[in-house]
């Protein structure tokens, strides 16, 4: 079965999810992105401090990854102000989405409007329309709040939670329920991959999935305590934190990786010219191998 015959949901945040959506943009409306909305750094962090809102930065990045990089829309939404004044460091796309969020009745309406402006057919959804922050707890009970602080922790947190707890959207749950393939990552394990899984109705939907769920590991070590973990250590930590292991297989860029928990597909995924980027054709081939392997496993079961 080819990828273009499937309904696919990709879940995560940051540049990792944007790369996956860009790679699979040919899927158009058979592809859905569910985006982490807990970022508190950069332009997004400044806007969140100004008034309570979801984090718009990753949503903006994912939307622009689905349009031609040379288009006026892409250049407009990716334009960043320089200088040290109050606009310095702000991304114009973030400001537009933030402004729309202040005048629209709900974030989803703002995203739909931008999708129409940019002519994006792929559904891009926030993990929740309610603002929330990431909280990480040390083994002895102390905690850190916010994505930036979590990634700077010297050791793995004992557990993560969202504060406040939030619900997802019906379109997110419907997309997961109808998905033939669910993709988690790549991206920061603690601050991009995990937050959507802390939304209980999202994790429940993945647990009860009809489709295959694959985790794409990072090409280069991330700047967080998760960088020191093996694949099985990541999966064990995930299982302890959400109460289950909602992953069937892992695509790993390193050779000779084994797991006692899931199927492993070892592939070179690095772009020849930008080694920290996943190469689009290599990623498509790896996902097709994942689907083929899952189909064979079902036949043997």
In CATH, what number is assigned to the domain containing residue 286? 3.40.50.10680
Give the domain extent around 169: 3-38+125-300
What the block records as the tokens of 235 is 């999966």
Residue 75 lies in a domain: no
Q: Which residues of the chain have pLDDT under 50?
A: none
Per-residue buried b or exposed e for 113-132, using 16+ beta carbons within 10 Å of the residue's own CB? ebbeebebebbbbbbbbbbb
Residue 85 lies in a domain: no
Residue 62 lies in a domain: no
Radius of gyration of the chain (CA): 18
Residue 67 DSSP class: S
Q: What pLDDT shows up at residue 300?
A: 53
Sheet arrangement for strand 159-163: 143-145, 133-137, 159-163
Q: Which residues pair with 80 in a beta bridge?
A: 91
Whether 234 contacts 197, CB under 8 Å: no
* Domains held by the chain: number: 1
Residue 266 lies in a domain: yes
Q: What pLDDT shows up at residue 80?
A: 84
Residue 250 lies in a domain: yes
What the block records as the tokens of 71 is 């288009």
Contacts of residue 73, defined as CB under 8 A and 6 or more positions apart, other chains included, come to 64, 67, 117, 118, 119
Rounded CA-CA distance 90/129 in Å is 22
SS (H, E, C) 83-116: CCCCCCCCEHHHHHHHHHHHHCCCHHHHHHHHHH
Rounded CA-CA distance 189/250 in Å is 13
CA distances from 19 to 97, 179, 268, 295 (A): 21, 19, 16, 25
Residue 77 lies in a domain: no
Q: Count H helices and E strands in the chain, helices first.
A: 12, 10
Residue 50 lies in a domain: no
How many of the other CB atoms lie within 10 Å of CB of 178? 14
Q: What pLDDT shows up at residue 64?
A: 94
Residue 263 lies in a domain: yes
This prediction has a pTM of 0.94
């Amino acid at each position: 079965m080819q990828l273009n015959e499937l309904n696919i949901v990709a879940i995560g945040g940051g540049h990792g999810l944007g790369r996956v959506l860009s790679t699979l943009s040919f899927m158009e409306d058979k592809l859905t992105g569910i985006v982490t909305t807990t970022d508190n750094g950069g332009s997004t962090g400044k806007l969140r401090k100004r008034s309570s809102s979801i984090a718009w930065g990753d949503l903006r990045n994912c939307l622009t990854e689905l349009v031609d990089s040379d288009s006026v829309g892409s250049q407009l939404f990716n334009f960043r102000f320089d200088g040290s004044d109050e606009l310095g460091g702000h991304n114009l796309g973030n400001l537009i989405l933030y402004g729309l969020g202040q005048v629209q009745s709900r974030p989803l309406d703002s995203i739909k409007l931008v999708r129409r402006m940019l002519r994006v057919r792929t559904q891009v959804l926030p993990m929740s329309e309610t603002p929330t922050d990431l909280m990480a707890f040390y083994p002895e009970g102390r905690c850190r709040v916010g994505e930036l602080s979590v990634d700077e922790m010297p050791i793995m947190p004992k557990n993560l939670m969202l504060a406040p707890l939030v619900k997802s959207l019906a379109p997110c749950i419907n997309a997961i329920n109808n998905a033939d393939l669910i993709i988690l990552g790549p991206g920061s394990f603690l601050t991009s991959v995990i937050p959507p899984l802390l939304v209980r109705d999202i994790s429940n939907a993945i647990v009860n999935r009809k489709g295959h769920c694959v985790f794409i590991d990072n090409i280069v070590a991330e700047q967080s305590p998760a960088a020191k973990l093996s694949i099985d250590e990541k999966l064990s930590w995930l299982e302890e934190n959400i109460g289950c292991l909602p992953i069937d297989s892992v695509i790993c860029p390193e050779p000779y990786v084994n797991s006692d928990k899931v199927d492993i597909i070892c592939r070179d995924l690095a772009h020849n010219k930008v080694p920290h980027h996943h190469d689009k054709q290599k990623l498509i081939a790896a996902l097709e191998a994942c689907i083929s392997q899952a189909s064979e496993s079902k036949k043997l079961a």
